[in-house]
Amino acid sequence: MNLLYSLLPLLFLCICRAVDPLGQFCNEDTNIGSNSKISANIDNLLAEVVTKAASTAYIATSYGNDPDEVYGLAQCRGDVSSKDCSSCIQDAAKQIRERCPNQADARIWYDFCFLRYNKVNFIGEVDTSLGILYRNVDNVTDPENFNPQLGALMDKIRSEAVMPENEGLGKGKTKLSPFVTLYALVQCTRDLSQIDCAQCLAIAVGNFPNFCINSKGCRVLYSSCYVRYELYPFFFPLDPNDTSSATTEVMVLYP
Ligand SMILES: *[C@@H]1O[C@H](CO)[C@@H](O)[C@H](O)[C@H]1NC(C)=O
Ligand SMILES: *[C@@H]1O[C@H](CO)[C@@H](O)[C@H](O)[C@H]1NC(C)=O
Please give the average per-residue pLDDT across 54-79, as a whole number: 96
Each residue's pLDDT tens digit, 85-122: 999 999 999 999 999 999 999 999 999 999 999 999 99
Domain boundaries, the chain: 19-118, 131-254
Q: Is the dihedral of CA 177, 11, 218, 123 positive or negative?
A: positive
pLDDT value at residue 11: 34
**Integer distance in angstroms from the first to the last C-alpha of the chain?**
5
* Residue 78: count of CB within 10 angstroms of its CB: 22
Nearest residue (by CA) to ligand 1, atom 10, is 139
Q: What is the DSSP letter of 38?
A: H
Task: State the pLDDT confidence band at 206, using cuts at 50, 70 and 90.
Answer: very high
Cβ(137) to ligand 1 under 6 A?
yes
Nearest CA to ligand 1 atom 8: 137
- Quick check: CB of 202 below 6 Å from ligand 1? no
pLDDT the model gives residue 243? 87
pLDDT at 244: 87
Looking at the predicted structure, is the pLDDT value of residue 41 above 50? yes
For ligand 1, atom 12: residue with the closest CA: 138
Our CA angle for 102, 103, 106, nearest 5°, is 130
**In this predicted structure, what is the pLDDT of residue 253?**
61
248 in contact with ligand 1, CB cutoff 6 A: no
The mean per-residue pLDDT over the stretch 142-152 comes to 98
Q: Determine the Cα–Cα distance for residues 2 and 25; give it in Å rounded to an integer.
A: 15
Counting ligands in written order, the one closest to the CA of 215 is 1
Region 124-150: mean pLDDT is 95
pLDDT at residue 12 greater than cutoff 70: no
Please tell me the residue having the least CA distance from ligand 2 atom 4: 241
- What is this structure's pTM? 0.90
Considering only CA atoms, which residue is closest to atom 1 of ligand 2? 241
Domains 19-118 and 131-254 share a fold: yes
Q: Which amino acid is at 106?
A: A
pLDDT surpassing 80 at residue 24: yes
Instruction: Identify which ligand lies nearest to the alpha carbon of 237.
Output: 2
Least distant ligand from the CA of 250? 1
Other Cβ atoms less than 10 A from the Cβ of 141: the count is 9
Average pLDDT score over the chain: 90
Centroid of ligand 1 to alpha carbon of 249 (angstroms): 12
Q: What CATH topology corresponds to 131-254?
A: Killer Toxin P4; Chain A (3.30.430)
Angle, helix 82-99 to helix 36-56, in steps of 10 degrees? 170
Q: 174, 179, 183, 241: which to mutate for ligand 2, most atoms within 8 A of CB?
A: 241
Confirm or reject: Cβ of 247 under 6 Å from ligand 1: no
| pLDDT tops 80 at residue 1 | no
pLDDT value at 156 more than 50: yes
Ligand 2 proximity of 243 Cβ (cutoff 6 Å)? no
Residue bearing the CA closest to ligand 1, atom 1: 139
Q: What is the pLDDT of residue 161?
A: 98
Ligand (nearest to CA of 139): 1
Query: Percent of the chain scored above 70 by pLDDT?
Result: 91
Mean pLDDT of the region 43-69:
95
- Atom number of ligand 2 nearest to Cα 240: 13
Alpha-helical runs (H) found in 162-192: none
Q: What dotted CATH number matches 19-118?
A: 3.30.430.20
